[in-house]
Structure 1
Amino acid sequence: CHQILWYFLPTMNKFTAGPYRLLATQAAHQVALNVPETKVTALENGLRVASEDSGLPTCTVGLWIDAGSRYENERNNGTAHFLEHMAFKGTRKRSQLDLELEIENMGAHLNAYTSREQTVYYAKAFSKDLPRAVEILADIIQNSTLGEAEIERERGVILREMQEVETNLQEVVFDYLHATAYQSTALGRTILGPTENIKTINRGDLVEYITAHYKGPRIVLAAAGGVCHDELIDLAKYHFGKLPGRHQGEAPALPLCHFTGSEIRVRDDKMPLAHIAIAVEAVGWSHPDTIPLMVANTLIGNWDRSFGGGVNLSSKLAQMACQGNLCHSFQSFNTCYTDTGLWGLYMVCEPSTINDMMHFTQMEWISLCTSVTESEVARAKNLLKTNMLLHLDGSTPICEDIGRQMLCYSRRIPLHELEARIEVSPIEQLPDYNQIRSGMFWMRS
């Protein structure tokens, strides 16, 4: 065995040096260019159809709607999420039982989620069942009965869900972070809404929200896996062609959400650990600084005590956290919205190490603008590109990427273009600490 390895090692070295390495790099670029094309077609009513055919035996198809909790007000906050729950509770063609049985008999999965700016309904199924999956999606967003009995039942479900969310301290922290960063604005409100709203939302509120926001130009039908684009267009015309393409009166405007730097602290000495989020105002999806901020986010990285070799990780903050026992875990984040965003760090610390962890976090942020090296930035760029490619593993994350980018950019950015934009992002474009607006954090200790 050792003899065989001895004979092969020179061969391996020969092919990983000099001109052979250059050939390997060129081949990698050719592979990146050889990914399936994302085809986009707009219907007469403004609904966009976008798909990527990779020839798989399964597919993911979904509706990405430009409507979330940001379009709500104080009175109806929680309506978008409530409506997501009601979509699976029966239509004029199918009862809830019929819908669940049909999905199970197909071996498919039907799901939905609501964010601050988007509502998504999607199905995962065999490629041969694409027509049925699209028909079901069309049925649940256009023909939901929104029965009074089902509405009352879902109130209890959502209230229980809110209790479960309260036990997830990371979600609680980020809700407080938004509340203080975007005070008295739509982004400052939670997605689930307050308890008093959940108890009073009625059928009229749900119908009003659908009427105001579920319009052709604000909807993307996205699909990935084994899908034929021409077939998807025909299905979209048949099932969504009657969706209104215009608003009666003025279209709902995107509510302005101003950033306010401030601080919230909730203290509970019975809790063993402090959960903290500190952030600064970032930029929206289409801003040119988005890529440099993603690189900076990767430079800070993430760390957990369960990781091996903490002192040897490339992230300097991870090295200091490990050597000084400063925290149990941390993760950097870059949350983008249409016209604003939050860039910062979430951490879990012992009460006695909060000040030290906050100090080293801010020192690392300063170092991004003053002393970060070209090699560190190059390493972060490579890691960012790798993470993005690994994320696109399977039809569902690809479909989500298509739907989100179509709403954010009105197109899907090709991988080779995204890679090129990351590569040319210079070190000088990292955020200037002296120009960053005041941060804020929330903690329990």
Structure 2
Amino acid sequence: MIRRSSSAALRRVLRSSRVSNISKHHLSTAAAADTNFPPYLLESPTTEITQFPSGLRVASETMLGANTATVGVWIDAGSRYETIHNNGAAHFLEHMAFKGTPRRTQYNLEVEIENMGGHLNAYTSREQTVYFAKVFEKDVPRAMDILADILLRSRLDPGAVERERDVILREMKEVNKQNEELVLDHLHATAFDGSGLGRTILGPEQNIRTLTRDDLREYIDTHYLAPQMVIAGAGAVDHSHLCELADYYFGNLKSELNEEQKKSDAICLDTGKFVGGDVRIHFNSDPIASFALAYEGASWTSEYAYPLMILQTIIGSFDRAVGKNPTSQLCYDVAANELANSISTFNTCYKDTGLFGLYAVAEREKVPALAACITKNIAQLAHHISEEDVERAKISLKATMLMGLDGNTNVCEDIGRQLLTYGRRITPVEIFQRIEEMTVDDVKAAAHKVFYDKDHAMAAVGGIEGMPSYEWLRNNSF
């Protein structure tokens, strides 16, 4: 289903001059043997990567015994690369991609996917745009045909653009009813004020009402470039065949912008700068407060990335509905004193920065005590992390990561995201090795770097009149 035929010409063989840099990423047998990892990890499939001269990359992992495959296109473009004027364009295009092409009407597209028993989906984030399909092995060529058609030849019919405005505005209303989504959007806006990371994915209401077909077409022309795109596949896929399909359907992508496009106001290339800040939206009638307190975290490639993953696991989460089974001193204090309905730790990485913090939901009268509890535990965290805490977190983190790779869709997602993020695929074995190498001192150093004498960002919504001032929170968290 849609959420959100190969031809004779397709049989041509890839010319060797079109392809370069074929590689397989895996940990060497000798290195793997030293880690005492379980056999199923050491025997996991390798990821094959091919880079075309245009910069387009194709990466896949063949999973023996699989009857279905997931193939998709990962694009290194999201809301952070939009401008004030076209913010929301990437998400708007996500809606428009399924509204028809010169070859397929919206109805025909839906019928084709349904008749294949397939699943077509897309999503937009702050840094990436993704379109993918899950299909039977025999339908991989058709899936690639559909993906290329909707990405590169979407009609963007003016009438459909006008109709879709109301759909997106209704989506915005639904998103804003979810306090967690609302809080985290405001958190980004205040944490990265003045930069692309501070803008929402949906864009402001004014942009949704005024973006034109030309704006959307310009976004495609300036961001859907070969070096910014990865064709990923996992499951019942053959790498050489996927390369052939990619060459046929995406071989004419531009490699770079022309001089006029480089000067266009439609391109935003700013760096994500954490500036901190405080935003509070008080509703007198709301008995519940929802807030997020965050500090500058780490980029995907930072030396602190893995220690912060372990730190996130150590701090953990608590949910009153699940029961009192706290995973850290903070969660224990919150549970024992019934300070919150729930509290969770988040660690969000971007290319050049990140956000590390806590999101909490509590009754309005508990907010002052909860804020004091959080800042007290943050201040003491770097000193109280034990060897046992780190070892327990390592086991939990590895289990979470492995469960996140269950199924070819999740593997395909991991391949596409990592190729854009790291330029290569980091295997589970290598990830496990990096986690195992982390020490107590590494995690303490990360906690000290993030929390000690650092400005923070906070966003709070609801019954928050008891929330301490920014200065109080700043001075009591170290």
Q: Output the TM-score relative to the length of structure 2.
A: 0.85
1:149 corresponds in structure 2 to 159
The one-character-per-residue Cα deviations of 1:387-439 (angstroms, maximum 9, x if unpaired) are: 00111111111111111111000101011111111111122223213253334
**Aligned counterpart for 1:419 among listed residues 415, 432, 438:** 432
Q: CA deviation at 1:319?
A: 1.6
Q: What per-residue deviation string (whole Å, max 9, x for no partner) do you get for residues 311-370 of structure 1?
A: x43322222121100100111000111101100000100111112212222222233311
The alignment status of 1:287 with 2:296, answered yes or no, reads no
Determine the C-alpha separation between the residues in 2 that align with 1:254 and 1:35. 38
Q: Secondary structure at the match of 1:93?
A: coil
Contact 1:277 1:443 in 2 (8 A): no
For the residues of structure 2 that align with 1:323 and 1:401, how far apart are their CA atoms? Answer: 38
Task: Determine if contact 2:291/2:458 at 8 Å carries over to the other structure.
Answer: no
For 2:243 and 2:62, locate their aligned partners in 1 and report how far apart those are by CA, in whole Å: 13
Give the letter aligned to residue 130 of structure 2: V
1:210 and 2:223 are equivalent in the alignment: no
Identity %: 47
Aligned to 1:3: none
1:36 to 34, 45, 64: 45
Match of 1:220 among 230, 254, 258: 230
Distance 2:240 2:205 in 1: 45
In the TM superposition, what are the counterparts of 1:18-417 in structure 2 within 5 Å?
A: 28-55=37-64, 56-249=66-259, 250=262, 254-308=269-323, 310=324, 312-417=325-430
Q: CA deviation at 1:44?
A: 2.3
For residues 384 and 117 of structure 2, the distance between their equivalents in structure 1, rounded to whole angstroms, comes to: 54
- Aligned partner (choices 415, 435, 440) of residue 458 of structure 2: 440
What does the per-residue CA deviation read over 1:270-298, in whole Å, with 9 as the maximum and x for residues that have no partner?
11210010000111111110001111111
Give the Cα–Cα distance (whole angstroms) in 2 for the partners of residues 49 and 82 of structure 1. 26
Q: Counterparts of 1:71 and 1:253 in 2: how far apart (Å)?
A: 5
Output the CA distance in 2 between the equivalents of 1:360 and 1:228: 54
Deviation at 1:27, TM superposition (A): 6.8
- Alpha-carbon deviation of 1:104? 0.5
Letter in 2 for 1:177: L
SS in structure 1 of the partner of residue 280 of structure 2: coil
Deviation digits for residues 3-22 of structure 1 (CA, Å, limit 9, x no counterpart) = xxxxxxxxxxxxxxxxxxxx
Instruction: Measure, in 2, the Cα distance between the counterparts of 1:83 and 1:305.
Output: 40
Once the two structures are TM-superposed, the CA of residue 189 in structure 1 deviates from its matched residue by 1.1
Q: Is the 8 A contact 2:184 2:459 kept in 1?
A: no
Q: Name the amino acid aligned to 1:294.
A: M
> Secondary structure, in 3 states, of the residue corresponding to 2:281?
coil
Residue identity opposite 2:41 in structure 1? A
1:431 aligns with 2:447: yes
1:296·1:368 contact (CA, 8 Å) conserved in 2? no
Residues 126-166 of structure 1, C-alpha deviations (whole Å, 9 max, x = no match): 11111110110011111111111111111111111111111
Number of aligned residues:
420
Q: Which runs of 5+ in 1 are unaligned?
A: 1-24
Using the alignment, how far apart are the partners of 1:89 and 1:398 within structure 2?
Answer: 28
Is residue 112–residue 121 contact of structure 1 (8 Å, CA) maintained in 2? yes
SS in 2 for 1:431: helix
Write the distance in 1 (CA, Å) between the matches of 2:283 and 2:206. 25
Moved over 6 A (4+): none
Write the distance in 2 (CA, Å) between the matches of 1:233 and 1:81: 28
Q: Is the 1:59–1:227 contact (alpha carbons within 8 Å) kept by the matching residues of 2?
A: yes
| Closer, same or farther: CA 293–27 of 1 in aligned 2, 3 Å | closer
Residue 28 of structure 1, CA deviation: 4.2
1:93-152: CA deviation from partner (whole Å, max 9, x where unpaired):
111111110000000011111111110001111111111101100111111111111111
Distance 1:289 1:73 in 2: 30
The one-letter code of the counterpart of 2:244 is D
The alignment partner of 1:263 has SS state of strand
